[in-house]
Amino acid sequence: MVEIMWVGARTFPLLIAVLRSSGMGGGVISGTGEIFPSSTSFSNVSLIAFSRASYEVGTTAPASLRA
């Protein structure tokens, strides 16, 4: 549970930054922090951002937080 929260804390701001920089404010953010984009192109961008953030977490997280 701690790992999930920690990853979410790292990933969510990154997705928001991508959303703003892409100039697409049409994404709907749910209560759980998921983004439901209004276009498929943003879906691809968010997937790339999420995988990049996940890689960063995997390489920089303390050993106790790694899966």
Closest CA to 33 of 49, 51, 48, 11: 11
Is the distance from CB of 1 to CB of 63 less than 8 angstroms? Answer: no
**pLDDT score for 60:** 56
User: Consecutive 10-residue runs of the chain (67 residues): their mean pLDDT?
Assistant: 54 64 50 52 64 61 52
Q: For the chain, which residues make up each domain, given as ranges?
A: 2-61
| pLDDT value for 1 | 44
pLDDT reported for residue 41: 54
**Any idea what the Cα angle at residue 43 is, between residues 1 and 34, rounded to 5°?**
30
